[in-house]
Structure 1
Amino acid sequence: MHWLHIHYHSETLGMPVQMEVLLPEPSGETIQKYPTLYLLHDIGDSNTAWLRKTNIESYAEELSLAIVMPVGHQSYYTDMFYGKAYFTHVTEELPAICERMFPLSTVRENRFIAGNGIGGYGALKAGLSASHNFSISASFSSPIDINGIADRMDKVNPVDIFGRSPDLIGSNHDLYAIADVATQTHFYLACELESEFFQENLLFTEHLKGLGLPPTMIKTEVMENRWKRLDLSVEKFVKWLSDTCNSTIGRKEE
C-alpha cells in the first residue's frame, strides 16, 4: 500500500486542509480504479489515529481497498451554523477531489463511509443525507441522539455547531428525522454492550428496520483498551464489507 499525506485547498472550507490516503499498489499496465472507504475520526483524535492505533492498512491491503482519512477538527461533521461547511466538504467536495487525484472508482456502489464516536455520527448522517454518494455507512461506538450529543459538548458551544434551535429533535442534525426521508443505503452499527451509547444504537437500528432501510448491528466485545476494541471493530467491518460487496471489493475496476 502507498501511504500518502496530502495537503490541498478546500474551496468549500475556504482554507488548506490535509488528509491521509492509503492507496493499493497497482499491478500491470492497466489503469485500475479502486473502491474507497472514507474514515472519519472521533472528536479529540486526529485523522492519523487510524494509522497509528489500528491495523487498517493491513486490512485494506488484502482487499485492494483505498482508504481516505480526512480532517474533521471540532466540526462534528456538520455544516456549522457559525463556521465551516464540513458536511458538504466530506460528502461532496472530498470524493470529487480524491477521484480526480487518484485512481478511485466513481461508482456509488464502490464508495463507503465509516467513523468512530462522533465520526460515526457523521458517517451515519452521510449515509442518510448524502446517500447518492455512499452505498454503505458504518459507525463504531457512536452516539445517535442529537440532544445527547449537544449536552455532552465540552469545549465547543452547541450553538456554533447546530444553531439556535431550542430543540434539535426534528432538525437536519437529527438522524431520526433525516432517516424518515432517506433513500436506500446499507447501515452497519457496531457498539459494545456496556457502552453508554448501546441503547441508542439498538433503538436506531430498530427505527431503520421499520423504515425498510437494511441495517446490520454488531455487538462488540467488552475491552478495556478502546483502540484494541476499535481495531477489532474495523477488522470485522472490513471483512463484512468484503462479504457484502464481494462483486466489487477485492476486484479492481478498470
Structure 2
Amino acid sequence: MAFLQANIFSNVLQMEVMINVILPQKTEKAYGTNQVGQTEDLPVMYLLHGMHGNHSVWQRRTSIERYVADKGLAVIMPSTDLGWYTDTTFGMNYWTFVSEELPRICHELFPQLTKKREKTFAVGLSMGGYGALKLGMRCPESFGAIASLSGALALADMLEPFEELPNPAYWTGIFGDVQQFKGSENDPIHLIEEVNSAHAPRIFVCVGTGDPLYPASQYAVQKMRAKGLEVTYEEGPGAHNWEFWDHWIQRVLTWLEE
C-alpha cells in the first residue's frame, strides 16, 4: 500500500491544491496487512472532507489506510476548503474542480485508476456527504455508488433561518441569494427529485441518532425512496464526530463490495 501526498495545480481554481492518495501496491513481507496490488483498472473512491477539514483529515482521524489495505481500492482525498463543493459566487469553482478537473488530473497522474462508472465511488462526511450526494445526482454517468456519513442533505432547510446563521456573508458568498437556494442545482433534495432513477448510482446513508443532522438524513432518504432510488439507510448510536465516522467508514467499504 502506497500513501502519497501531492501538490497539484488546478487551472480551475488557479492555485495549488493538496491531495492525499492511497494506492494499492504489490508488496512482500508486509507484516500486519494483507496487501493487494493491481497495475490497471483500479476501483477508486473519492473521499471528501467536511467543514473544518482538508485533504489530510481522513488520514489523521481514521485508520482509512489500514481499512482499505486488503481491498485493492484507490482512495483520493482532495482539499476543497470551505467551498461546499460548489461554484461559489466569489469566483472559486470548487464544483467544477471536484466533478471535472480532479478526476481528469488523477487519471493523468495515476493511469492505473479505472474509468468505469461501476468501479468509481464518491463518499464523504457532513459537508462532504453533501458533496458526495451532489456528485452522484448531477454526474450519475460517472459514479456507480455514493455514500453520505452524517451528510448535510437537507441544506435548504438549514439555510431558511438565514438571519440567525453565524456569518451569513459566508453563506451568501458560497451560494448567492439563499432565498433562491431551494430548487437550485445546489439543493440536494431538488437534485434527488430531478435525477433519472434508472441511471442513478447506488446510495448509502448513515447517521448517528445523536447527530443534529439526523433528521436531515431521514428526510433525504424518504425523498430517495419516493423517487425509487436504490438506497441503503442505516443508523446507530453516535454524534457528529470522528468516533462515529471512523466506525462507519468501515461499514461503507463493506457495502461498496456488496
TM-score, normalised relative to structure 2:
0.88
Q: In the TM superposition, what is the alpha-carbon distance from 1:222 to its structure 2 partner?
A: 2.3
| Distance in 1 between residues matched to 2:222 and 2:78, nearest whole Å | 30
Q: What amino acid is the match of 2:152? A: P
3-state DSSP of counterpart to 1:16: strand
Encode CA deviations 1:211-230: one digit per residue, 9 max, x unaligned: 1111111102226x821211
**How many Å separate the matches in 1 of 2:137 and 2:166?**
23
Check 1:17–1:193 CA distance in 2 against 1; reply closer, same or farther (3 A cut).
same
**One-letter amino acid of the structure 2 residue matched with residue 238 of structure 1:** L
Task: Please say if residues 47 and 75 of structure 2, whose CA atoms lie closer than 8 Å, have aligned partners that are also in contact.
Answer: yes
Match of residue 32 from structure 1: 40
Does residue 138 (structure 1) correspond to residue 147 (structure 2)? The answer is yes
Per the alignment, in what secondary structure is the counterpart of residue 3 of structure 1?
A: strand
Superposed displacement of residue 43, structure 1 = 0.5
Amino acid in the other structure paired with 1:96: R
Q: Distance in 1 between matches of 2:254 and 2:246?
A: 12
Aligned partners of 1:74 and 1:156 also within 8 Å:
no
Distance of aligned partners of 1:63 and 1:44 in 2 relative to their CA distance in 1, 3 Å threshold: same
Flag the structure with more relative contact order, 1 or 2, with Cα contacts below 8 A and sequence separation at least 6: 1
Superimposed CA distance per residue, residues 211-254 of structure 1 (whole angstroms, 9 cap, x where no aligned partner): 1111111102226x8212110010111011112xxxxxxxxxxx
Q: Which residue of 2 aligns with 1:249?
A: none
- Counterparts of 1:174 and 1:154 in 2: how far apart (Å)? 20
Secondary structure in 1 matching 2:77? strand
Q: Distance in 1 between matches of 2:38 and 2:122?
A: 27
Q: How does 1:5-154 map to 2 (within 5 A)?
A: 5-26=5-26, 31-102=39-110, 103-150=112-159, 151=162, 152=165, 154=167
1:181 paired residue among 194, 200, 213: 194
Q: Which residue of 1 aligns with 2:30?
A: none
Does residue 195 in structure 1 map to residue 204 in structure 2? no
Q: How many Å separate the matches in 1 of 2:37 and 2:177?
A: 55
Distance in structure 2 (CA, Å) of the matches to 1:162 and 1:153: 15
SS of equivalent residue, structure 2 residue 207: strand
Partners in 2 of 1:204 and 1:26 — Cα distance?
41
| TM-align CA RMSD | 2.0
1:47 deviates by 1.7
Pick the aligned partner of 1:231 from 227, 243, 246. Answer: 246
| 1:240 corresponds to 2:248 | no
Query: Bigger shift: 101-110 or 174-183?
Result: 174-183
Deviation at 1:165, TM superposition (A): 4.7
Q: Aligned partners of 1:168 and 1:197: how far apart in 2?
A: 19
Cα distance change, pair 240–193 in 1 and its aligned pair in 2 (3 A): same
Partner secondary structure for residue 72 of structure 1: coil
Counterpart Cα distance in 2 of 1:65 and 1:191: 24
- Measured in 1, the distance between the counterparts of 2:212 and 2:123 equals 20
Counterpart residue type for residue 129 of structure 2? G
Contact residue 119 and residue 139 of structure 1 kept, 8 A: yes
| Number of equivalent positions | 242
Q: Percent identity?
A: 28
User: Could you tell me how far apart the structure 2 residues matched to 1:30 and 1:64 are?
Assistant: 7
TM-score normalised to the size of structure 1?
A: 0.89
